[in-house]
Structure 1
Amino acid sequence: MRITEADILVIPGYRGSEPTHWQSRWEGRMSTARRVHQREWTKPVREDWVQAIAEAVNESVKPVVLVAHSLGVAAAVQAIPLFEKRVAGAFFVAPPDVANPLLRPRHLMTFGPYPRDPLPFPSVVVASRNDPFSTFEAAEEAAGAWGSLFIDAGESGHLNHESGHGPWPEGLLTFGKFISGLKLEEQRSGEA
């Protein structure tokens, strides 16, 4: 699949993705990318975030590819039962450990725990060994439960602008390789 054949849904995490964040930069470079907007970025309500993602997926006309970061991953995974259209794939970066009682701010825990069923579409999880919002082991365990390809990003912090991942060209190359491996025919044959 090529990027132009998909609706790329950019799903930011807590506080959104500022203009220097890799998600914002990628969104600006991909003609078919659009951001899933949330009513409240700093006081996220799980039901609202999940509904916004489900609506964006269900309004799409092309096969959907999710590009989620941090709390956006948690919301996207929680939204899957509400999807009326098949998702072709998901690229998940820095999923937080929403079951960890030490997670701050504490209201982020309302997005957990993660479902542990295999995802109904191909996916990649990219995680760092020193992410302040999740242990490497928790991210690896979630990826295993979901059947996701797991990518070790080394000691990369939260994989955001603050950790030096503004444009994040390595991530874009990995995403390009992932999306090129998705089969457009599978998406079309799965539609009613």
Structure 2
Amino acid sequence: MKTSDLDILIAPGLGGGSSSHWYTRWEQKLSTARRIEQSDWHEPNFDNWVARITEHASSTDRPIVLVGHSLGALSIVHAAPLLADKGIRAAFLVAPPSQRVLLTMPEVDPRFAHVPTAPLPFPSVLVASRDDPYATYEESEAMALDWGSAISDAGNAGHINDESGHGPWPEGLMRFAGFLKTL
């Protein structure tokens, strides 16, 4: 698939990201991409975050590919059972946090820490870093296995965000384009 043939819904993580974050740049660069806005980026409420994903997915008649980073990626996975009839073609999940880490984050609704283990109802790829402070590579592999996601090894890339030097992240955009070609 080409990006012009679908709607790309981007689910940012905790904090909502900066203007230089890779997913903000993708949103600006890809004409069919739009951000899933949340009412509170700093103290995420489980019900609200999942509902916003399903609301955005319900607002289009075109095929959808979901892109999520960190808690946004995990929110997509939590929302997956509610998305079966929403035209979701695939999900590109970048650096989801592990249950171990989520349990130490008091600002995050504890229901996020109940990481789903059921396979996703659509194709997906999980991009994982070998030195992500929010999930070990082994934890990421286990999540990918549970969800039926292909794993994409980003090497030593930290949390794949501004702090780890991934402003524009052209390698990620190439991985995303390659993933779209498989759909």
Q: TM-score if structure 2 supplies the norm length?
A: 0.94
**Aligned-CA RMSD value:** 1.4
Which stretch shifts more, 76-85 or 97-106?
A: 97-106
Aligned-residue identity in percent:
48
- 5 Å matches for 1:159-170? 159-170=160-171
**Cα shift readout 1:86-137 (whole Å, capped 9, x = no counterpart):** 3100000000013446533463543122211111111000011111111111
Q: Distance in 1 between matches of 2:132 and 2:109?
A: 16
Q: Alignment partner of 2:99: what SS?
A: coil
Q: Distance in 2 between matches of 1:56 and 1:22?
A: 21
Which residue is 2:134 aligned to?
133
Which stretch shifts more, 105-114 or 133-142?
A: 105-114
Distance change (3 Å), C-alpha of 1:122 and 1:21: same
Distance change (3 Å), C-alpha of 1:146 and 1:87: same
Amino acid paired to 2:57: V
Work out whether residues 7 and 62 of structure 1, in 8 Å CA contact, stay in contact via their aligned partners in 2.
Answer: yes
Work out whether residues 127 and 152 of structure 2, in 8 Å CA contact, stay in contact via their aligned partners in 1.
Answer: yes
Work out whether residues 119 and 146 of structure 2, in 8 Å CA contact, stay in contact via their aligned partners in 1.
Answer: yes
- 5 Å matches for 1:28-107? 28-83=28-83, 84-100=85-101, 103-105=104-106, 107=108
Work out whether residues 12 and 36 of structure 1, in 8 Å CA contact, stay in contact via their aligned partners in 2.
Answer: yes
Distance change (3 Å), C-alpha of 1:150 and 1:100: same
Q: Alignment partner of 2:108: what SS?
A: helix
Which residue is 1:179 aligned to?
180
Work out whether residues 65 and 87 of structure 1, in 8 Å CA contact, stay in contact via their aligned partners in 2.
Answer: yes
Q: Distance in 1 between matches of 2:10 and 2:174?
A: 16
**Unmatched 5+ stretches in structure 1:** 183-192
Q: Distance in 2 between matches of 1:122 and 1:107?
A: 27
- Structure 1 runs (4+) deviating above 2 angstroms are 98-110
Distance change (3 Å), C-alpha of 1:87 and 1:38: same
Q: Distance in 1 between matches of 2:67 and 2:58?
A: 16
Q: TM-score if structure 1 supplies the norm length?
A: 0.90
- 5 Å matches for 1:118-129? 118-129=119-130
**Unmatched 5+ stretches in structure 2:** none
Work out whether residues 126 and 151 of structure 1, in 8 Å CA contact, stay in contact via their aligned partners in 2.
Answer: yes
